[in-house]
Structure 1
Amino acid sequence: MRNVAIAAGVAALLAATAHAQTRPDQKAFFDLYREMVETNTVVNVGSCTQAAAQVGARLKAAGYSDADITYFAVPDHPKDGGIVAVLKGSDPAAKPILLLGHLDVVAAKREDWQRDPFKLVEEGGYYYARGAVDDKAMAAIWADAMVRFRQQNYRPKRTIKLALTCGEETTFAFNGAQWLAQNRPELIAAEFALNEGGGGRLDPAGKRQLLAVQVGEKAAQNYTFVATNPGGHSSAPTPDNAIYELADAIKAVQAHEFPARFTDTTRAYFTATAQRMGGEQGDAIRRLLADPADKRADAIVSRDKVMHSTLRTTCVATLLNAGHAENALPQRATANVNCRIFPGETVDATLATLKALAGPKVTVTANQPVRPTAVPPTLDPKVIEPMRQVAAKHFPGLPLLPMMSTGATDGVFLEAIGIPVYGVPGTFIDPATSGVHGLNERIGVKDLYDARDYMVDLVKAYAG
């Protein structure tokens, strides 16, 4: 039996490898994907500018002119550059579409990983590396599509634009998407953009469950809480203590629940979820849809941490720093509170709530940079229906659900200048084992190539 199991495992691995090498275009894509993954783009360590130049070289080799390609960076962040490329459409009246992706990745320490995080490794039907999913899978698919479109002399009706940027994974680094939106909006002007944030969900056994299109996201914003006191010798404590005052403020934030709200997207998501879910949870979702102020229903639905976050603004303490000596009363205590702000709600209104919770002894300020208010796109049939129709061909029988991300992407910067941004479905991962932002990040080999085929057909469906 053991030999049979081993043989089956080897056969499965060989089948996955064969899938990656079935077609010549897949081999070319893999070469681009591997180069992108193995180019370190961690902020202050690697170089997005180098990765952008590598993509640009492939575009030039495919036939794009210098006028079709724009590199961008700023003098004080020379390694955080990016690239915009344009494939002109035949109809000047048709508004362009934008393919958005980010080149930077979260840091990864070799001593923590089972494999070198900046060496693409295929093992057991998976590709392992930092960025294997987030976001070099999508960035490579978009770049490869632009290369193939030119090589095939494909002439779309709409202009297709590609923007690969840096800075998505960090708060204080130069952000290329933000810079483009504020300084070169004409480069990325489009009717809508296709971005990360959607995908597909696998169950623990690896079976595909559903497709998701991201329609809207929260805005991430950090706030600093500060309590100050004269301090003194610890042998003579007083009731006024900066640590206790800060602790009281943080406990007030912990106890506070922002009200449940719905956008068109989250209402559609919860409606579809209630239809698929029975019992107490499904009934509670239906009651909450009917009355968002139903606290009992909210409490039941919110047992699921993702649903809880999808319903409202959330704020949580993430960093603490206090005191200056073991034998002294603290003169200062600070905390960082990270909020994910529901679409339509503002940084200032959230700040006002936090100040009220903190009380008069603790100051609360919004940290720079202040992100724009999240603007939810509409469930535009011109965008959603092609996703559904192309999915019916590539992933028959799977439902397509709209969802709002509880995290944040660079889409918020484009939406601030009037470009709706949609997270594309098609890339299947298991959230529990994908390792995104964590250890041993991976994506299924077949899932990557299937996503590529789906996404290229989707772009063509939009471009005409």
Structure 2
Amino acid sequence: MRAAWMMATAAMVLAAPAAAQTRPDQRTFFDLYKQLVETNTTLSAGSCTQAAAQIGTRLKAAGFADADIVPFSVADHPKDGGIVAVLKGSDAKLKPMLLLGHLDVVEAKREDWVRDPFTLIEEGGYYYARGTLDDKAMSAVWADTLIRLKQSGPAPKRTIKLALTCGEETTFAWNGAQYLAKERPDLIAAEFALNEGGGGRYDDKGNRVLLAMQVGEKAAQNYTLSATNPGGHSSQPVPDNAIYELADAIEAVRGYSFPVKFTDTTRLFFASNAKKQPGTVGDAITALLADPNDKAADLIVSRDKAMHSTLRTTCVATLLNAGHAENALPQRATANVNCRIFPGETVDGTLATLKRLAGPKVTVTANMPVRPTAIPPALDPKIVGPATKVAAKHFPGVPLTPIMSTGATDGIFLQAIGIPVYGAPGIFVDPDMSGIHGLNERISIKSLYEGRDYLFDLVKAYAG
């Protein structure tokens, strides 16, 4: 999950009371969810292929034909496979919808965790384990939704496709969503897709304060800055020093702010925030909406790191490597710069900016893989409308806000082939993002089961 907008607050939420497994369908879902969470799908030691096969077995047991379940992998990455499943609709005139999730998880070292990261543990109103949220909660809900719809009948009007893939969490890994978009677009062809990236947020007292639908995201791209010199003995330093030259380039990147941009979604987001924040900040947002080049307004709004990142492309140094000996002048110094590129802006355009900032003595290259240009989906009432209506039933009084994620998901690969992707709301997290990508990842049990019910009703609303 890349809902970086959730990081604006940092207090812990009180544990919500468990509301788990009181219905037979919830107990069935828990079995699926627990098996998925406890199947290790890290890049280093796990197998998405195994997790996908387990989902396939459950789909078959629910009545799906072999022809409607397509496991996929490639010979070079046998453990990075995924699965596509199809629940056929009754109205051929309606284009399919796609439910997208990823099976892989971020690495987790047992010695760093309080609990075994690959054993689902219930404690204090939470489920703890790696992937309890990101993204096995949504992946389990999507698979469970297809099973429930298949077993309950009749067929929905709209065909529903499910794609559970591997490789989302690691930039250099083989990526199942990218593979499907390039090699098997027929399998996932859809009018629109629902994905991670949306959600909800509790405050520090456990109250729901925000429900968000992701309508657009940035593209993640890494660049390498490299300085090289002949080197020599450290007892006779010279002005041309690879470390100093690289440091100057990094300092230039640090001091640069990319220009302010808006999409339809972010314009709506900031207009809404301006009304909620009367005074200096609200006035600055209003001024910036009227004139994106208003530097004074930008300085005020950008004091909030989430708003700063929502306004523009951002680039930040994340890794350094320099020198070869403590008593030698450095022959090489390199840095990785991680950029989150605003929708519509390109990898090459950002590269050109970094080259200009780095100057002639530092080489800048775009690292592989090169991600597609982010394409913002439309604020389509046919998508946002049902999400808002179903939310009013499940989460009364909580406003649903369209947002653009400052992070990135696999949705970018689908957008590149013409499938608009929306981050579905429904599952609420703590202000600290509930340990996603960090230690002791957890999900409120109450949130999981309430989110499951919301997402099931949302899929039904779209599928007719």
The bucket for the TM-score relative to the shorter chain is over 0.9
Matched, 1:175 2:183: no
Summarize the alignment of residues 38-77 of structure 1 with structure 2, pairs less than 5 Å apart. 38-77=38-77
Structure 2 CA distance, aligned partners of 1:249 and 1:333? 11
Matched, 1:336 2:332: no
* Counterpart secondary structure, 1:41: coil
Structure 2 CA distance, aligned partners of 1:205 and 1:295? 37
Q: What is the aligned partner in structure 1 of residue 26 from structure 2?
A: 26
Once the two structures are TM-superposed, the CA of residue 431 in structure 1 deviates from its matched residue by 3.4
Q: What is the one-letter code of the residue matched to 1:44?
A: S
Structure 1 CA distance, aligned partners of 2:36 and 2:313? 35
Q: What is the one-letter code of the residue matched to 2:223?
A: Y
* Counterpart secondary structure, 1:101: strand
Q: Contact 2:203/2:431 (CA < 8 Å) preserved in 1?
A: no
Name segments (4+ residues, structure 1) moved above 3 Å: none
Matched, 1:286 2:286: yes
Q: Contact 2:48/2:104 (CA < 8 Å) preserved in 1?
A: yes
Once the two structures are TM-superposed, the CA of residue 401 in structure 1 deviates from its matched residue by 0.6
Where structure 2 has 5 or more consecutive residues not aligned to the other structure, the ranges are: 1-13
Q: What is the one-letter code of the residue matched to 2:222?
A: N
Matched, 1:148 2:121: no
1:102-127 CA-partner distances (Å, limit 9, x unpaired): 00000001111111111111111111
Q: What is the one-letter code of the residue matched to 1:371?
A: R
Q: What is the aligned partner in structure 2 of residue 125 from structure 1?
A: 125
1:153-195 CA-partner distances (Å, limit 9, x unpaired): 2311010000000000001111000000000000000000000
Q: What is the aligned partner in structure 1 of residue 17 from structure 2?
A: 16
Structure 1 CA distance, aligned partners of 2:393 and 2:203? 21
Once the two structures are TM-superposed, the CA of residue 420 in structure 1 deviates from its matched residue by 0.1
Structure 1 CA distance, aligned partners of 2:240 and 2:272? 52
Q: What is the aligned partner in structure 1 of residue 450 from structure 2?
A: 450
Q: What is the one-letter code of the residue matched to 1:92?
A: A
Q: When the two structures are aligned, how many residues end up with a matched partner?
A: 451
Summarize the alignment of residues 351-362 of structure 1 with structure 2, pairs less than 5 Å apart. 351-362=351-362
* Counterpart secondary structure, 1:209: strand
* Counterpart secondary structure, 2:436: coil
Q: What is the aligned partner in structure 1 of residue 427 from structure 2?
A: 427
Q: What is the aligned partner in structure 2 of residue 101 from structure 1?
A: 101
Identity %: 75
Structure 2 CA distance, aligned partners of 1:269 and 1:45? 41
Q: Contact 2:213/2:424 (CA < 8 Å) preserved in 1?
A: yes
Once the two structures are TM-superposed, the CA of residue 282 in structure 1 deviates from its matched residue by 1.4
1:281-313 CA-partner distances (Å, limit 9, x unpaired): 111111111111111111111011010000000
Structure 1 CA distance, aligned partners of 2:21 and 2:57? 24
Q: What is the one-letter code of the residue matched to 1:16?
A: P
Structure 2 CA distance, aligned partners of 1:394 and 1:372? 36
Summarize the alignment of residues 50-449 of structure 1 with structure 2, pairs less than 5 Å apart. 50-432=50-432, 434-449=434-449
Structure 2 CA distance, aligned partners of 1:76 and 1:16? 46
Structure 2 CA distance, aligned partners of 1:278 and 1:204? 23
1:320-352 CA-partner distances (Å, limit 9, x unpaired): 001001111000000000000000000000000
Once the two structures are TM-superposed, the CA of residue 21 in structure 1 deviates from its matched residue by 2.0
Structure 2 CA distance, aligned partners of 1:265 and 1:455? 22
Q: What is the one-letter code of the residue matched to 2:17?
A: A
1:30-71 CA-partner distances (Å, limit 9, x unpaired): 110000000000013100000000000000000001000000
TM-score (norm 2): 0.96
Once the two structures are TM-superposed, the CA of residue 201 in structure 1 deviates from its matched residue by 1.1
Q: Contact 2:204/2:431 (CA < 8 Å) preserved in 1?
A: no
* Counterpart secondary structure, 1:114: coil
Q: Contact 2:252/2:358 (CA < 8 Å) preserved in 1?
A: yes
Once the two structures are TM-superposed, the CA of residue 129 in structure 1 deviates from its matched residue by 0.7
Structure 2 CA distance, aligned partners of 1:44 and 1:126? 27
Once the two structures are TM-superposed, the CA of residue 433 in structure 1 deviates from its matched residue by 5.2
1:198-246 CA-partner distances (Å, limit 9, x unpaired): 0011111110002100000000000001100000100111000000000
Q: Contact 2:44/2:107 (CA < 8 Å) preserved in 1?
A: no
Once the two structures are TM-superposed, the CA of residue 93 in structure 1 deviates from its matched residue by 1.2
* Counterpart secondary structure, 2:17: helix
Once the two structures are TM-superposed, the CA of residue 149 in structure 1 deviates from its matched residue by 1.1
* Counterpart secondary structure, 1:78: strand
1:76-132 CA-partner distances (Å, limit 9, x unpaired): 100000000000000111100000000000000111111111111111111111001
Structure 2 CA distance, aligned partners of 1:83 and 1:126? 29
1:230-268 CA-partner distances (Å, limit 9, x unpaired): 001001110000000000000000000001110000001
Structure 2 CA distance, aligned partners of 1:146 and 1:227? 53
Q: Contact 2:216/2:375 (CA < 8 Å) preserved in 1?
A: yes
Q: What is the aligned partner in structure 2 of residue 5 from structure 1?
A: none
Q: What is the one-letter code of the residue matched to 2:75?
A: P
1:139-162 CA-partner distances (Å, limit 9, x unpaired): 000000111111112311010000
Structure 1 CA distance, aligned partners of 2:285 and 2:133? 32
Structure 2 CA distance, aligned partners of 1:266 and 1:28? 39
Once the two structures are TM-superposed, the CA of residue 317 in structure 1 deviates from its matched residue by 0.4
Q: Contact 2:216/2:376 (CA < 8 Å) preserved in 1?
A: yes
Q: What is the one-letter code of the residue matched to 2:138?
A: M
1:414-448 CA-partner distances (Å, limit 9, x unpaired): 00000000000111001315000001111111100
Where structure 1 has 5 or more consecutive residues not aligned to the other structure, the ranges are: 1-11
Structure 1 CA distance, aligned partners of 2:166 and 2:144? 18
Structure 1 CA distance, aligned partners of 2:387 and 2:265? 15
